[in-house]
Amino acid sequence: MNFSEEQLAFRDSIRRMVAKHVAPIAAEIDETDRFPEELVKLYGEMGLMQLWIPERYGGPEGNLTMMCIAREEISRVSPACGSIAGLNTMFIMPLLHFGSEEQRQRFLPEVAKGGVVTAIAISEPQAGSDIGAMNTRAVLDGDSYVINGRKQWCSYGVVADYIVVMARTSGQSGADGISAFVVEPKKMRGVTFGRHERKMGWRGAPNTPIFFDNVRVPIENLIGEEGKGFKASMRALDLNRPTIGAQCVGLAQGALDVSVEYAKERKQFKRSISEFQGVQFMLADMAIGIEAGRALVYECARAGDEGDWARLNVLASMAKCFGSDMAMKVTTDAVQIFGGYGYTKDYPVERMMRDAKLAQIFEGTNQIQRSVIARELLR
């Protein structure tokens, strides 16, 4: 990609950090499924946790391109660890675009310090792709809202200091009537967590059900206006989906790198398997897909950095959908190139394949992304 000198220097600093701090623990994180708290402090010191926060609130004022660079580089060895970079984006964006200045002054300087973990809670057991089926409710009672309900698949919610919670504030159907609130789970009574989900891949990134039992949230924690929460969440998702595409590019690149190295070393019939045309074609197709995905991701990032919201919406769906489908194919082919060894945990490609699968599902399934793209085409 045609990065600036500043962006190249940023990328190089990420690569050095990954080699020193992430690569050595990637397999262990997958094996134990522990949340790598040490990376929160490290990423915070590097400005990666709070990358989106403007300078006027104490942040580094990064942009979408920088976010994609960081996540791509880290995800070459661990997309779960890559997710922690820019983790606070889904909390920051609703405040920046829809919150009040008082809310920004209240929350963003603290998050800008780098040690704070945040999350966003949208999905429910019966409201995943169908956001309009949301049942969690917030009822105004004096100077507070009382929230009751349950959330599912809230990434990092169990370790978060702040969670943006989507809840219905009116009887309107569909997405109308959904509002966004800042909940402080470590301070507010009535917030409890269920069993940690045991995932096939993307381990080390906790997903835990959240239960809200008469949780009182001050009225000043309502982000924007009542009934505008869905719009706030969609803006945040549009800005986060390209970074999922970037993670997929990084994951696929990592799989290609180890596949090329293995193909050169592995011998069959007294020849390196890299000399066989069948293997060469697989490697070539992997490289083609990765470069196409990378070009799409950074074109999308450019649209986001230029504030081209209409174009960003469809490109974000394309980058996430194509990137994750591509990563699934590349990592599956990587396992094939490794043969029987690829199916063992002694090599990283089986973990990479498991990690790739989730990317086709979360942040909006790829079927939903295709619906978004088709709707734009047919408008």
Beta-bridge partner residues of 183: 163
| Whether 156 contacts 81, CB under 8 Å | no
Please report how the helices 229-265 and 277-305 are oriented relative to each other, as an axis angle in degrees rounded to 10: 150
CB 357 within 8 A of CB 200: yes
Give the residues across from 168 on adjacent strands. Answer: 137, 178
Query: CA-based Rg of the chain, rounded to a whole angstrom?
Result: 21
Q: Among all residues, which ones are annotated catalytic?
A: 363
Q: Where are the beta strands (DSSP E) in the chain?
A: 118-121, 137-141, 144-151, 162-168, 178-183, 191-193, 210-218, 222-223, 267-268, 271-272
Instruction: Please report, as a single letter, which amino acid is at residue 9.
Output: A
Determine the angle formed by the axes of helices 101-112 and 89-98, rounding to 10 degrees.
150
As given in the structure block, the two tokens for residue 85 are 């970079």
Structure tokens at 346: 């002694």
What SS3 class is residue 181? strand
Pairing status of strand 118-121 against strand 162-168: parallel
